[in-house]
Amino acid sequence: MSRADVEKLLIAGGEDKHLRAKYDVPATREEFVALAATEGYDFTVEEFDSVISESGDVFEKNGNPPKRSIWWA
């Protein structure tokens, strides 16, 4: 279920700019995963990294203001 939760979060963020903005705040993958856990998503940093790596996405922020480009539309 954990890979599925990563995918659910990435899809939800692709559909909701407020959710994307909230998840642009955490500085580390660990903080990102901890925030997701507070909202009912259950996955590890390793599972998160695996999913975004397979999709060709990167966790680091780009642009001004800095944003992540991990969200699925």
> Which residue range forms the structural domain that includes residue 61?
2-68
Which among 56, 35, 32 has a CA at the least distance from the CA of 46?
32
pTM above 0.85, yes or no: yes
Q: Domain for residue 40, yes or no?
A: yes
What pLDDT sits at residue 1? 62
DSSP letter string, 45-67:
HHHHHHHHHHTT--SSEETTTTE
Q: Domain for residue 38, yes or no?
A: yes
> How many angstroms separate the CA atoms of 33 and 48, rounded?
8
Q: Domain for residue 29, yes or no?
A: yes
What pLDDT sits at residue 73? 84
The number of folded domains in the chain is: 1
Query: Given the structure tokens 């990102």, which residue do they identify?
Result: 32
Strand, coil or helix: 68: strand
Write out pLDDT tens, residues 8-65.
999 999 999 999 999 999 999 999 999 999 999 999 999 999 999 999 999 999 999 9
